[in-house]
């Protein structure tokens, strides 16, 4: 006998019946569908990587501009009100 388990089975019929209830909403729509996940291709990885790197570069430029240019700093400060 494995430690932590007993010979007596515990019956959880109430939990099984609850899980068999009719699903509603999105769960009902997705009930019969089969989804498979496919890894992105090399071209898609390159496109998303380029987008992420370019947005990070723009963010760094805007932070530097915010810290160094007083007019841009005032503009951001006034628009943020």
Count the alpha carbons within 13 Å of 52 in the hemisphere toward its beta carbon: 6
Count of all residues that appear for the chain in the document? 81
Q: Which of 4-8, 18-22, 28-32, 46-50 has the highest mean pLDDT?
A: 46-50
Q: Residue 4: pLDDT band by 50, 70, 90 thresholds?
A: low
**Does pTM surpass 0.85?**
no
Residue 72: CB partners within 8 Å, gap ≥ 6? 65, 66
- For the stretch 25-61, pLDDT in tens is 777 777 777 777 788 899 999 999 999 999 999 999 9
The C-alpha atoms of residue 63 and residue 59 are separated, in whole angstroms, by 6
Residue 76 tokens read as 């951001």
């Amino acid at each position: 006998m494995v430690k932590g388990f007993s010979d007596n089975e515990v019956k959880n019929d109430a939990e099984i019946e609850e899980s068999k209830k009719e699903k509603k909403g999105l769960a009902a729509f997705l009930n019969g569908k089969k989804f498979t996940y496919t890894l992105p291709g090399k071209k898609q990885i390159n496109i998303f990587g380029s987008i992420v790197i370019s947005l990070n570069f723009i963010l760094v430029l805007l932070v530097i501009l915010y810290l160094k240019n007083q007019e841009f700093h005032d503009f951001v400060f006034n628009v943020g009100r």
